[in-house]
């Protein structure tokens, strides 16, 4: 090979006098500088003879071939990550002879006409404001690049646009400067709060309907935060206004009416207003209504007030309490919903504990006495019992639960090691 190169250079020199040749050995610095250039030029002719270290002495070559370095090779004991070979010799095994260390990054530019690329997991990345995907590069089946992040819009603009709209706009991942998107997200959150309070998923339009709204307004080239913001700056006032969706657009056509008074933000007990939060996550610890109580005010909360929840859920609780009665008693109150409708107004306005007022009204209506031990509160769904969240002075959760006695005990334990608030103020 050296002889052939020398002859070629001599022939070239006759046509190009500026080329100089030297018979003296290269210095270490020259070797270092010229190694990559020399081996890249050789690599261009041996692209099908590259291999990647697999395990122990084995290398994985192109076309899924397992090879080993010939024992007499100068890099046989080096365990280089990547190599190229001048020849592959097959005996009982396949040996690579005349080998040299290479870098994986040299292969792709030289083999651009031979490599194959594939992409997976297109996803929106909030930090970059783009739809990215993982790119895999192979040469004759050998993986050159395993998982490289690339801008997917340059690969498939149609799919990138769909992912961008769904993840950034519909799912609310967008954190850019277009105010209309933020207004839409805030409006959706308010409507979702109604669903949490009413425990009905029939208020907000689904993701597909929201996607259609954005899809119908945004041009085909909007595939990233930058593209969206550039279009928005140049858009007409009419288009900007259309991008802010109205409540009617974000609500289902048959959405149930909502009375905010039935699901208040606070619950008053002993002259103190405690904040309420709502969650519609069956099975979760905070499903239903949570009342946020400072630890120092935990003993101000009374069970009688908590039993009545909020007006919007009280009727459902009364209905379930009656349905959970033993059959010998329950049979006198069927159909239960009709019975509850007849007595509900008086039960709601009563200042007595819920179970007492419910029993009194049932007896007045039917003449049947319901003993206090017949009621089974433990069978109630979680959302029909307030979740009591006890908070420290910094608003951090100490404990939570639906049993007032246990929660107050935990609050007392916490306060044992805390100085009295009045003493601190003085």
Q: Helix %, strand %, coil % for the chain, to 5?
A: 45, 20, 30
- Report which of 108, 107, 88, 85 is spatially closest to residue 98, judged by C-alpha positions: 85
Instruction: Tell whether the model's pLDDT for residue 17 goes beyond 90.
Output: no
Give the mean pLDDT of 72-90: 91
**How far, in whole angstroms, is CA 41 from its chain's centroid?**
47
The pLDDT of residue 335: 94
Range in 196-205, 222-231, 310-319 the model is least confident about? 196-205
Residue 235: how many other CB atoms lie within 10 Å:
18
The pLDDT of residue 219: 96
Give the mean pLDDT of 178-204: 93
Two tokens, residue 356: 């007492």
Strand pairing report for 387-391 and 288-294: parallel
Instruction: Tell whether the model's pLDDT for residue 387 goes beyond 60.
Output: yes
3-class SS at 165? Answer: helix
- pTM, two decimal places: 0.77
199 touches 381 (CB < 8 A): no
Instruction: Tell whether the model's pLDDT for residue 424 goes beyond 60.
Output: no
Query: 426: pLDDT confidence band, cut at 50, 70 and 90?
Result: very low
Can you tell me the distance from the alpha carbon of 424 to that of 415, in angstroms, rounded to the nearest whole number?
14
Strands of the sheet containing 116-125, edge to edge, are 116-125, 130-139, 142-151
Tell me the per-residue pLDDT of 27-74, one tens digit each, with 9 for 90 and over: 777 666 688 888 999 999 999 999 999 988 899 999 999 999 999 898
Instruction: Tell whether the model's pLDDT for residue 16 goes beyond 80.
Output: no
The pLDDT of residue 419: 66
Element at 37 (helix H, strand E): helix 28-43
The pLDDT of residue 260: 86
Greatest alpha-carbon pair distance for the chain in Å reads 123
- CA distances to 160, 174, 225, 244 from 229, rounded to whole Å, are 16, 11, 6, 15
Element at 2 (helix H, strand E): helix 2-15
Q: Does residue 21 or residue 278 have the better pLDDT?
A: 278
Average pLDDT score over the chain: 91
In the DSSP assignment, the letter for residue 111 is T
The pLDDT of residue 18: 67
Can you tell me the distance from the alpha carbon of 141 to that of 175, in angstroms, rounded to the nearest whole number?
40
Two tokens, residue 206: 């689904």
3-class SS at 237? Answer: helix
The pLDDT of residue 129: 96
Residue 307: how many other CB atoms lie within 10 Å:
21
Can you tell me the distance from the alpha carbon of 410 to that of 251, in angstroms, rounded to the nearest whole number?
42
Tell me the per-residue pLDDT of 113-138, one tens digit each, with 9 for 90 and over: 999 999 999 999 999 999 999 999 99
The pLDDT of residue 35: 85
Tell me the per-residue pLDDT of 270-318, one tens digit each, with 9 for 90 and over: 999 999 999 999 989 899 999 999 999 999 999 999 999 999 999 999 9
| Cis ω for the linkage preceding 335 (within 30 of 0) | yes
Identify the burial level of 264 via C-beta atoms within 10 angstroms of its C-beta, where 0-12 means exposed, 13-18 middle and 19 or more buried.
middle
Tell me the per-residue pLDDT of 151-171, one tens digit each, with 9 for 90 and over: 999 999 999 999 999 999 999
Range in 78-82, 107-111, 186-190, 418-422 the model is least confident about? 418-422
The pLDDT of residue 32: 63
3-class SS at 408? Answer: helix
Residue 273: how many other CB atoms lie within 10 Å:
11
């Amino acid at each position: 090979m050296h002889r052939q190169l020398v002859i070629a250079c001599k022939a070239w020199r006759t046509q190009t006098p500026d080329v100089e040749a030297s018979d003296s050995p290269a210095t270490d610095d020259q070797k270092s500088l010229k190694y990559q250039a020399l081996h890249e030029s050789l690599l261009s002719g041996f692209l099908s003879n590259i291999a990647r270290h697999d395990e122990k002495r084995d290398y994985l070559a192109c076309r899924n071939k397992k090879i080993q370095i010939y024992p007499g090779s100068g890099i046989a004991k080096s365990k280089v990550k990547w190599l190229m070979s001048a020849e592959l010799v097959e005996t009982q095994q396949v040996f690579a002879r005349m080998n040299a260390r290479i870098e994986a990054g040299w292969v792709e530019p030289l083999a651009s006409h031979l490599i194959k690329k594939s992409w997976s997991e297109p996803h929106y990345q909030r930090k970059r404001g783009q739809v990215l995907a993982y790119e895999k590069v192979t040469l004759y089946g050998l993986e050159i690049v395993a998982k490289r992040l690339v801008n997917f819009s340059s690969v498939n603009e149609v799919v990138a646009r769909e992912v961008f709209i769904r993840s950034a706009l519909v799912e609310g991942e967008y954190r850019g400067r277009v105010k209309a998107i933020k207004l839409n997200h805030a409006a959706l959150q308010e409507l979702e709060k109604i669903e949490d309070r009413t425990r009905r998923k029939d208020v907000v339009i689904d993701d597909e309907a929201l996607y259609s709204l954005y899809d119908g307004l945004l041009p085909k080239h909007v595939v990233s935060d930058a593209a969206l913001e550039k279009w928005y700056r140049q858009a007409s006032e009419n288009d900007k206004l259309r991008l802010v969706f109205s409540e009617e657009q974000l609500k289902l056509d048959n959405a149930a009416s909502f009375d905010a008074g039935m699901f208040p933000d606070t619950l008053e007990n002993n002259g103190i207003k405690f904040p309420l939060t709502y969650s519609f996550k069956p099975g979760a610890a905070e499903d239903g209504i949570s009342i946020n109580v400072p630890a120092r005010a935990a003993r101000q909360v009374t069970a009688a007030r908590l039993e009545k929840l909020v007006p919007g859920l009280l009727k459902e609780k009364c209905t379930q309490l009656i349905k959970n009665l033993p059959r010998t008693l329950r049979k006198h109150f069927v159909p239960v919903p009709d019975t509850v409708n007849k007595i509900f107004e008086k039960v709601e306005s009563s200042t007595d504990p819920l179970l007492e007022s419910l029993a009194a009204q049932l007896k007045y209506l039917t003449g049947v006495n319901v003993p206090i031990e017949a009621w089974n509160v433990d069978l109630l769904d979680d959302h029909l019992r307030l979740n009591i969240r006890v908070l420290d002075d910094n608003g951090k959760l100490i404990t939570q639960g639906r049993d007032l006695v246990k929660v107050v005990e935990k609050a007392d334990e916490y306060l044992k090691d805390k100085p009295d608030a009045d003493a601190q103020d003085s």
